[in-house]
Amino acid sequence: MDIRRTMMARRAMTAVAITTGLVLTVAGCGGGGDDDKPDEGKSARASARGGNTDKEEESQDAGPEKTLAEVKSNGITLTITSANRDEGGFLTVSGKVTNGTSGIWVGSEWRSDENELKKNGGSLAGASLVDQQGKKKYLVLRDTAGRCLCTKFEGGINESQSVDWYAQFPAPPEGTSKMEFQVPTMPPAPLEISDGE
């Protein structure tokens, strides 16, 4: 009889141990907190904003971008945040344009008067860089099909919205570091060129 009771007690202890182990395993896997889903939250935020999470978080960690120049005209604000020489002999100027008007801005007044670039529509095709000291003007580069190497404002920019932009130019000589960025209807924006990364 003692053997029988001992066997029953062992079985009961084994059942309790197995049940406890299963309960702890389920509790450990269940989570319930937000720590086990950081990527899901990041991707949901990124898709809601329509951007790339890793790049956005890097730019947020890096702090606000340095402003090289800012000009305003007719409710539009043009901000320049970089002007870098690239390895291929190009100069890339970039920044943000903000629509402070009460409607959609399409950028049509910034298009180029050149026949080859007219088909670019609302874009930075009419932008130029001016070297006052060297007395030279640099126009936006274009590809073989006549498309400017610049931002095209397709669909326009809504009221109070900001959009990133870029424009590529031939790089001025190495000794030239101060230029003026010009687009039609805006005052010239003085800027300083830096070497690419």
Q: Determine the pLDDT at residue 158.
A: 92
* pLDDT tens, per residue, the chain with 197 residues: 556 555 555 665 555 456 555 444 545 555 444 444 444 444 444 444 444 444 444 444 445 678 999 999 989 999 999 999 988 889 999 999 999 999 998 888 888 777 677 777 788 888 999 998 889 999 999 888 888 899 988 888 999 999 999 999 999 988 888 999 999 989 999 999 887 65
Q: Determine the pLDDT at residue 108.
A: 84
Domains and CATH numbers, the chain: 2-60 (no CATH), 66-195 (2.60.40)
Joined together, the tokens standing for residue 25 give 């395993």
Q: Which pTM value belongs to this model?
A: 0.64
Distance CA 167, CA 112 (A): 13
Distance CA 119, CA 60 (A): 36
Distance CA 78, CA 162 (A): 10
Quote the strand ranges of 100-195, DSSP E. 128-131, 136-139, 162-170, 178-182, 189-192, 194-195
Q: Determine the pLDDT at residue 98.
A: 95
Distance CA 94, CA 98 (A): 13
Q: Determine the pLDDT at residue 114.
A: 76
Which value, in Å, is the radius of gyration of the alpha carbons in the chain? 30
